[in-house]
Every structure is written in C-alpha cells, then in structure tokens.
Amino acid sequence: MSRDELVKKIAAKAAVTQKVAGLALAAVLEGITEALKKGDKVSLVGFGSFGVAERKARKGINPKTKAPLKIPARKVPVFKAGKKLKEAVK
C-alpha cells in the first residue's frame, strides 16, 4: 500500500477530505520521527512499538575486493509488532 492509498483509506474511514487525512498522517509520522530522534520509544497499544537500537561497530569485508573494512557504530529504528497486529496477520 502506498502513502496515497493510505491517505485515501484514512479519508474514507474518518469521513474527512484527503488533504486533512494527508496532514494527519504527516503529523503522526513526524511525531514518531521526532520521538525516535530523541531516543524515546513510541507505543501504540495493540499495533506495536517503535524504538531505537544501537548497533556496535564491527569488522566487515568488501564483497567486491575482499578488503577488510570497519563498519561504524550507529543507531537504527526498530519496530516490534503488537499482539493484535500479529493476530490480524496470521
């Protein structure tokens, strides 16, 4: 499902215009992004939770040249599905 399809679905379910639905979706995504930037966790009961995980620095190998390289430590976003979402997908 694309972003446009999701906006249309939100507009139909909430009985609002697509513009309003698009703004609402953008606000939700912006809120989640800002919380993750701060290192906070975002929990949506039944749906799941978004968080930030730390990946340690490690050694790797360039598959083309077989040369060793250092992969730096970094933070990555993670999502853990909630119980209701898991059951709905079964």
Torsion 60-58-49-16 (CA) sign = negative
pLDDT in tens, 19-50: 999 999 999 999 999 999 999 999 999 999 99
pLDDT at residue 34 in the model: 96
Query: Residue 53: in which H helix or E strand, if any?
Result: strand 48-55
Instruction: Write out the CATH class of domain 41-90.
Output: few secondary structures
Average pLDDT over residues 4-32: 96
Alpha-carbon gap, residue 19 to 30, rounded angstroms: 16
Where are the chain's structural domains? 1-38, 41-90
pLDDT at residue 67 in the model: 95
Block residue for tokens 């399809």: 5
Chain-centre distance for alpha carbon 31 = 11
